[in-house]
Structure 1
Amino acid sequence: MEKSAYKIHIIGAGISGLITAQILENHGYHPTIIEASATVGGRVKSDLVDGYTLDHGFQVLLTSYPAAKKYLDYKALDLQKLLPGATIFKHGKAQTIGDPLRNISLLFSTLRSSIGTFSDKLKILKLNTLLKKKKITAIFKTEEKTTLQYLKDFGFSNEIIKDFFTPFFSGIFLETELETSSRMFEFVYKMFGDGLAVIPKNGMQAIPNQLKNNLKSTTFKFNSLVKEVKDKHIILEDGHTLQSHITIIATDASPLISNLKNQETQWKSCDTLYFETEKSAINKPLIGLLADEDALINNIFYHTSVATLNKKSKGLLSVTVIKNHQLEENAFIKKVVAELYSKCAIKDVTFLRRYQIKKALPMLTNLQYEISSTETKLKSTIFLAGDQLLNGSLNAAMIAGERAAMGVIQSLEDGLIVDELTSEYSS
């Protein structure tokens, strides 16, 4: 059978699914991506609202991600750089700290800051040096502990853990107790130290859009919700059945395969609200962290502190909430607006949109960086992709997609896939 004649379906047009399709195309195959929504991107999406580009949750790309460097054209994305630091709001006072070795403009504010002791600042330099030398493979072989225990064992004071590490990494890990594996902490910290945190000028959606535009032999079936995956066919929610030599599930597979229902992925959630603002409380491209323990807000960011395609002269502010709350929407928005004023002196804001992201990050243990292509095979005709196989990052999504595609190619080239499909299923 010709390579292009194989019916290969990828479920999910997120980052992992798009990379899977690219690798298959590179080897002469013509896959079909089935996507439940109307656009590519999965958890990396943006909307245009009132002239502003709103990402589905505050997200950044770390330029040092090895897989991202391999698959993305950074120049074409017109990446906008964030400074390597943060503005911390505590008891109504704002202080900025950062890495002056990477950006000299942060030197004096960091030295003057009361966030952390002098010993803490020396330990940060020590941690930077340690992780710059440590290979990624070594990080993921290190015994796991919680991030909180890691920071305590490293000798950081309770104050800097509470005022900086907790709000900063809560925004990344989407949990407030720093229970996330120390492997993920070391990996993310190293990635921040080795490169830059950036946002494409046209929003995070530009990343999956670029990957989609690279595809030449892939067919897309949008607005198509999959109900169940069988060995040689896929059942859609609308009742249609698709023949499939091979199916790659680049999303949570447990709801789609009957014998995986007891292995459902658990997810972390977050709330992101966008506001139009008259003035900016942070005049540089820095994330804002709220260190008060009673704060509902975890972090804020002015998207208009970097170049965007927005047509308006006012500011665009995103507010991220990690903590659980039982507030109905109007009360929730009012509380967030009140906190912006009381804790950050931010006033005159106009609410634009709220994103309740229930499946923001997979909740994982025994985090890994790599996976072999054979490990992505669930059955002879069903393969798995997605960052939930590894460590919950854009880099992991790309690696998992690549490995799943190579597993499929290996099976096909080894003649492990039977050509015939039964005629009882419509294509």
Structure 2
Amino acid sequence: MKKEGYKIHIIGAGVSGLIAAQVLENYGYSPVIIEATDRAGGRVKTDMVEGYQLDYGFQVLLTAYPAAQKYLDFEKLSLQKFLSGASIFINGKEKTLGDPMRNPSLLIPTLLSNIGKFSDKIKVLRLNMMLKKKSITDIFKDDEISTLTYLQNYGFSEEMINNFFRPFFSGIFLEPNLETSSRMFQFVYKMFGEGFAALPKDGIEGIITQLVSKLEKTKFLYNTSVKQVVDGSVFLDNGEELKSNFTIVAAQAHQLITNLNNQETEWRSCDTLYFEVNDRVIKKPLIGLIVDNDALINNIFYHTSLKTSANARKELLSVTVVKNHQLNGKELKQKVMEDLDQFCGISGCKFMKHYHIKNALPKLENLQYEISATETKLTNTIFLAGDQLLNGSLNAAMISGERAALGIIKTLEDGLIVEEFTSEFN
């Protein structure tokens, strides 16, 4: 059979599914992506609301991600870079902590911030140098301890941990106690040190738009829900059966594959609320961290401090909540606005949109960086993809999609395709 003749289906048009399709196309195959919603992206989406770009949760692209460098054209994304640092709201005052080696304008504010002890700043420099030399492979070979324990063992003061590391990495890991694996902390810290945090000018969905635009032989079936995946077939919710030589499940596999019913991934959730405001309290493109234990909000960011494709009339502010709460939408909005006023001095907010992101990041143990193509294989014809196979990151989503596609290609090259499938589909 010619390569174009193989029926290869990919369930889910998120980052993993799109990368899998790209790899299959690169090898001459023409896959079909089945997506339950009306557009590609999964968790990586941007909505236009009243002339503003609202990302589905506060997300950034770390330009040092190896897989992102491989599959994305950063120049065409027109990346807008954050400054390397943060504005920290503590005791009613805003203080700036940053890397003056990257941006000299942060030197004086950092020296005057009094965040952490002098010994903490020395340890930050040591940590930067150590992780720059340490390979990603070695990072993921380390014994796993919590990020909090790692920082304590490294000798950082409780003040430095509570006033910087906890709020900063809570916003990344989406949990307030720094329980996340030290492997992930080291990896993310290394990525921040070797590159920049950035956003495409079109919003985070600009990544998806670019990945989709590169696909020339892939067919998309949008607004199409899958009920079950078995060897040789994909069953849709509408009762239709699609014959399939190979299937990559880049979605919630336990819902689609019978023998994975008891292997549901646990997920971390968060809330992101957007507001229109008249002015920016944080003048530079820095993330704002809220330190006070009584605050529900964790971090804020003025998206209009970066250039966007939208013509914003005023300023767009996002607020992220990672702490558990039992508030309904109205109560949460009220509490967030009170916190903004009390802890950040931000008032006069016009509420725009609330995103409750139930499946924001997979909650995982024994985090890995790599996965082999054969490890993505569930059966001879069904393969799995998604960041939940490795670690919660865009980089991991790309790697897993690539490996699942290579798993199919290897199976075909090894001649393992079941002959009756081949004859049935001809």
Q: CA deviation at 1:177?
A: 0.7
* Structure 2 SS opposite 1:273: strand
Distance 1:236 1:424, change over 3 A: farther
Instruction: Map Cα deviations across residues 288-309 of structure 1 (whole Å, 9 max, x no partner).
Output: 0000011100000000001012
Distance 2:192 2:422 in 1: 51
Task: Answer whether contact 1:245 1:419 (CA < 8 A) is retained.
Answer: no
Task: Kindly provide the amino acid, as one letter, of the partner of residue 257 in structure 2.
Answer: I
Q: CA deviation at 1:421?
A: 3.9
Equivalent residues in 2 for 1:19-418 (5 A)?
19-418=19-418
Distance 1:135 1:329, change over 3 A: same
Q: CA deviation at 1:252?
A: 2.3
Task: Kindly provide the amino acid, as one letter, of the partner of residue 44 in structure 1.
Answer: V
Distance 1:368 1:21 in 2: 23
Q: CA deviation at 1:41?
A: 0.8
* Structure 2 SS opposite 1:111: helix
Distance 1:169 1:226 in 2: 36
Task: Kindly provide the amino acid, as one letter, of the partner of residue 115 in structure 2.
Answer: I
Distance 2:354 2:367 in 1: 31
Distance 1:120 1:190 in 2: 18
Distance 1:37 1:422 in 2: 31
Distance 1:241 1:180 in 2: 41
Instruction: Map Cα deviations across residues 353-401 of structure 1 (whole Å, 9 max, x no partner).
Output: 0000000000110000000100010000100111111111000011111
Moved more, 225-234 or 284-293: 225-234
Q: CA deviation at 1:107?
A: 0.6
Q: CA deviation at 1:418?
A: 2.1
Distance 2:360 2:179 in 1: 17
Instruction: Map Cα deviations across residues 207-232 of structure 1 (whole Å, 9 max, x no partner).
Output: 01100000000000011111111111
Q: CA deviation at 1:243?
A: 0.7
Task: Answer whether contact 1:268 1:363 (CA < 8 A) is retained.
Answer: yes
Q: CA deviation at 1:424?
A: 9.8
Q: Which runs of 5+ in 1 are unaligned?
A: none
Distance 2:331 2:375 in 1: 47
Distance 1:164 1:151 in 2: 11
Q: CA deviation at 1:327?
A: 1.1
* Structure 2 SS opposite 1:10: strand
Q: CA deviation at 1:241?
A: 1.2
Question: What is the TM-score of this pair, normalised by structure 2?
Answer: 0.98
Distance 1:328 1:266 in 2: 22
Moved more, 190-199 or 231-240: 231-240
Task: Kindly provide the amino acid, as one letter, of the partner of residue 226 in structure 2.
Answer: V
Distance 1:160 1:349, change over 3 A: same
Instruction: Map Cα deviations across residues 245-267 of structure 1 (whole Å, 9 max, x no partner).
Output: 10001122111111111110000
Moved more, 20-29 or 107-116: 107-116
* Structure 2 SS opposite 1:370: coil
Task: Kindly provide the amino acid, as one letter, of the partner of residue 415 in structure 2.
Answer: G
Question: What is the TM-score of this pair, normalised by structure 1?
Answer: 0.98
Distance 1:104 1:135 in 2: 28
Distance 2:223 2:393 in 1: 25
* Structure 2 SS opposite 1:272: strand
Instruction: Map Cα deviations across residues 260-298 of structure 1 (whole Å, 9 max, x no partner).
Output: 111100000000000000010100000000000111000
Distance 2:12 2:39 in 1: 10
Task: Answer whether contact 2:304 2:312 (CA < 8 A) is retained.
Answer: no
* Structure 2 SS opposite 1:325: coil
Distance 2:104 2:134 in 1: 25
Q: CA deviation at 1:90?
A: 1.0
Q: CA deviation at 1:43?
A: 0.8
Task: Kindly provide the amino acid, as one letter, of the partner of residue 305 in structure 2.
Answer: S
Q: CA deviation at 1:31?
A: 0.2
Distance 1:228 1:423, change over 3 A: farther
Task: Kindly provide the amino acid, as one letter, of the partner of residue 161 in structure 1.
Answer: I
Task: Kindly provide the amino acid, as one letter, of the partner of residue 343 in structure 2.
Answer: K
The RMSD of aligned alpha carbons is: 1.3
Q: CA deviation at 1:423?
A: 10
Distance 2:259 2:156 in 1: 45
Task: Answer whether contact 1:297 1:320 (CA < 8 A) is retained.
Answer: yes
Q: CA deviation at 1:115?
A: 1.1
Instruction: Tell me how many residue pairs correspond in the alignment.
Output: 426
Task: Kindly provide the amino acid, as one letter, of the partner of residue 104 in structure 2.
Answer: I
Distance 2:170 2:213 in 1: 34
Aligned to 2:18: 18
Aligned-pair identity (%): 63
Distance 1:305 1:184 in 2: 28
Distance 1:201 1:156 in 2: 36
* Structure 2 SS opposite 1:129: helix
